[in-house]
A and B are shown apart, each in its own frame.
Chain A
């Protein structure tokens, strides 16, 4: 069960060019394409005739052609040509989804397109702002249920253990985070004062003296997590709001469900320091991707282990508070959503 009436990330904008792209989102096959004006569209990726994937076909002008028997659809989802006959059955239609291109991403509304509300797309303005640098957009396919990935992003104590060679130091796991409610979500906050820099801080900015460090993780339903991360020389007032001497960046994350046990993990780093430095670009594009691959390895294994031993987790620890609260919030939203009519109606 998913939250249907919501935006999800479908693709990076630069993944969709002249060929259609097929992707499964919330268990539904979706085909993404651009029309001759470059406007993105999304349709059900399933021919209404014999169910094969339309994403294996071609975009011809303002039509999408099925690769099996050549049926052609317009971008509202209506079949407009059936090879070998002049009449098209009126019921030959496939589902259309509302999409918006914003923040370098293609966003898709998984509910009724008439209810799509653009104002509820997350405000990831740093992805498209001259004072911030976003070197690269990333997509990892992770073999885990999306809620496990959100747990991972809300409880950053794992950084000490999973990412010891890059961003982890002992203090991160030892210092408890505090949890608070935010609009449509949950926030986890951790401040660590006067601690040694992590290998990453030294590599990126040459920091060797003690730092004050913060991790603020905002998870918003259904699957968006914004990380506000940074470090400042110890005692320079970062906690009080002075980030003028700080090295700070954001990580934007969308844990988009593919199926109940697999996730499309979209993420990107935006930083506010050394914007013109290609070496720092490379560190964020490479080193950080390695960090996320460490998470993927752990999450893939976690899902495998859970599949062997299904059922609730037996033990919860204090650090799980944020993740548990988010799961309850998401569950309530899903349960209180109106009944959905069948996809085929």
Chain B
């Protein structure tokens, strides 16, 4: 089983309402969403046509892809609406002293 490492990716103050925040860890594009104070981290690349979900709209716990309106649950990564059929990968996320950390598997 691969080990995971926590990476500091952003500050709490970087988050804006109604949008997910784009961050990168290595070559992974990851998005962070704030849902009623709880943070969630998920792959920022739409599984349909590879647009960046951080360019789309965050509505409660649902992220809407800007290109074709595919929808995903930011808590579980589940694809909720066509044209997406493949779920997003999700990542553990935590906050330490205003800083946001995300855990990814080591390469």
List residues of A whose CB falls within 8 A of some B CB: 176, 178-179, 181, 315-316, 318, 320-321, 324-325, 328
CB distance A316 to B51 under 8 Å?
Answer: yes
Inter-chain contacts of B66 with A (CB < 8 A): 179, 318, 321, 324-325
A321 and B51 form a contact (CB under 8 A): yes
| Chain B residues closer than 8 Å to A181, beta-carbon distance | 57
- Chain A residues within an 8 Å CB radius of B56: 321
B52 interface hit (Cβ, 8 Å): yes
Query: How many chain-B residues does the 8 Å CB contact rule pick out?
Result: 10
A316 to B66, alpha carbons, bound, how many Å? 11
Closest residue on chain B to residue A181 by CB atoms: B57
**CB distance B55 to A316 under 8 Å?**
no
Binding site for A on B (CB under 8 A): 49, 51-52, 55-57, 66-69
Our pick among B57, B67, B69 for the contact of A318 (Cβ within 8 Å) is B67
Residue pair B69, A316 in contact (C-beta under 8 Å): no
**Nearest CB of B to A151, in Å:** 13
Q: Which of A176, A316, A325, A328 is close to B49, meaning CB atoms less than 8 Å apart?
A: A316
Q: Are B67 and A324 in contact (CB under 8 A)?
A: yes
Q: Is the CB of A318 within 8 A of B55?
A: yes
* Complexed CA–CA distance, A320 and B56 (Å): 12
Contact B69 A320 (CB under 8 A): no
The smallest beta-carbon distance between B18 and chain A, in angstroms, is 9
CA distance A324 to B66 in the complex (A): 8
Cβ-defined contact, A321 with B67, below 8 A:
yes
Report yes or no: B68 in contact with A179, Cβ–Cβ below 8 A: no
How many angstroms from the CA of A318 to the CA of B50 in the assembled complex? 9
Establish whether residues B52 and A316, one from each chain, have CB atoms under 8 Å apart when the complex forms.
Answer: no
A321-B67, A328-B69 given as contacts; is B55 within 8 A of A179 (CB)? yes
Residues of B within 8 A of A325 (CB): 66
* Cβ-closest 8 pairs across A and B: A321-B66, A316-B67, A321-B67, A318-B51, A324-B67, A179-B66, A321-B55, A316-B49
Supply 12 A–B pairs (Cβ within 8 Å), ascending by A: A176-B55, A179-B55, A315-B49, A316-B49, A316-B67, A318-B66, A318-B67, A320-B67, A321-B55, A321-B66, A324-B67, A324-B68
**What CA separation (Å) do A316 and B55 show in the bound complex?**
14
Residues of B within 8 A of A328 (CB): 69
Extra A-B contacts (13), CB below 8 Å, given A318-B55, A328-B69: A176-B55, A178-B55, A181-B57, A315-B49, A318-B51, A318-B52, A320-B67, A321-B51, A321-B55, A321-B56, A321-B67, A324-B67, A325-B66
**A37 → B minimal CB distance (Å):** 50
A321 to B52, CA, bound (A): 10
In chain B, what residue has the closest Cβ to A321? B66
- In angstroms, Cα B46 to Cα A320, docked, is 15
- Measured in the bound complex, the distance between the Cα atoms of B49 and A324 in whole Å is 13
In the complex, what residue of chain A is closest to B65 when comparing beta carbons? A321
